[in-house]
Amino acid sequence: VGIIATRFTDQPTKISAVGDIILCIRATIGRATIGDDVYCLGRGVAGLRANAIERGLLLHLLKKDAESLDAAGTGTTFRQIDKRTTFGMAVPLPPLPEQLRIVAKLDGLTARTARASNPTPASWNVKTVSYRQFRRNPDQSCACDRLR
């Protein structure tokens, strides 16, 4: 999830810092990402600064609980969650070295899942060339056979 700034102001009221977790609290409730810049936060997002918990662990926990946060949303025009719901989440707090180990493992699994879900353009090119080679001469082995 990236951040797309769509509005600008010269009178900011809520400011996030680089590295803060930005959490959607209205409409797309539960979506979260780490801020790559300083942002003025509007009504639909909250900035969370991890102090007693490793930031990456908090981000993973928020993403894991996105559905329950969304289910807690109320409102008729725009569903949203309030501060009490956001900060009322139970968060496990293992010792910092364990938090870092958990985050490293989850980041690795997330990266592997992303790679498996989104083949790189290079892999698509190999498959396309191999398929064309096979279609030209189906009796000869193609590059696909050598990739296995």
As to burial, measured by CB atoms within 10 angstroms (0-12 exposed, 13-18 middle, 19+ buried), residue 26 is: middle
Which residues does 89 contact at the CB level (< 8 Å), separation at least 6? Answer: 61, 65, 69
Read off the pLDDT of residues 23-53 as tens digits, 9 standing for 90 and up: 999 988 999 999 999 988 888 899 999 888 9
Burial (CB count within 10 angstroms: exposed 0-12, middle 13-18, buried 19+), residue 132? exposed
CB 57 within 8 A of CB 44: no
pTM summary value: 0.70
Read off the pLDDT band of 120 (50, 70, 90): low
14: DSSP letter: S
